[in-house]
Homo-oligomer: A and B are copies of this chain.
């Protein structure tokens, strides 16, 4: 019961629950040294704030988050690294499910949610290799590198943007007359800021916000608009 291997104890032996908390904190922005409230975490994870407090203490003990009572939590460098490794696994498994097993867009999340907790570095590296080192998951979100780097591509198709992200319109893929006319008619112009509010699984159409007003656009349109992500 002695303190044999602090490194192993603190960083490798993560429980499923701990990993889920780190992932959530990262997604809520707590990797940018921003403090995330216990309430926000509780809401996201569909649990109670008091449970979050308990876990915050535990993760703080392990050096994975900075936690100040009543002030919320933010990930430490070690916490960010761990969160990224889980997100990497999640997204690689999503690619695997879609590319190798013909899962659809909307089926992958639940299963990847389980697979991301499998503990084997070799396994995920081999999956990465099998998939030929994909850069993005099926939703267009970037896959962190093995050494925990986030290679955020700053130009992408609007259809690949995650929900709640926003960017400036920087180009078109289809430059046909009908398409450009459509953009003009709908006051979509280069330089406009567009925020993705929601995606409809049924037809992949998007609800977006532009210049303060909301609108819905089809997947075909979104898949031909390049935007530069800025948040």
User: A residues bordering B, Cβ < 8 Å?
Assistant: 97, 100-103, 107, 110-111, 114-115, 118-120, 122-123, 126-127, 130
Contact = CB atoms under 8 A, between A and B. Distances in A.
How often does this chain occur in the complex, in copies? 2
B120 A114 contact: yes
B115 A118 contact: yes
16 contacts: A97-B123, A100-B130, A101-B126, A101-B127, A101-B130, A102-B126, A103-B122, A103-B126, A110-B120, A111-B118, A111-B120, A111-B122, A114-B118, A114-B119, A114-B120, A115-B118
A103 B111 CA distance: 23
Contacts of A110: 120
Contact of A123 (B101, B119, B126, B130): B101
B122 A107 contact: yes
Contacts of A102: 126
A114 B122 CA distance: 14
A101 B122 CA distance: 9
| 7 interchain residue pairs of minimum CB distance | A101-B126, A111-B120, A114-B118, A111-B123, A115-B118, A101-B130, A100-B130
Nearest to A107: B122
Nearest to A115: B118
A103 B97 CA distance: 20
A134 to B, nearest CB: 16
Contacts of A97: 123
Nearest to A127: B101
A81 to B, nearest CB: 22
Contacts of A120: 110-111, 114
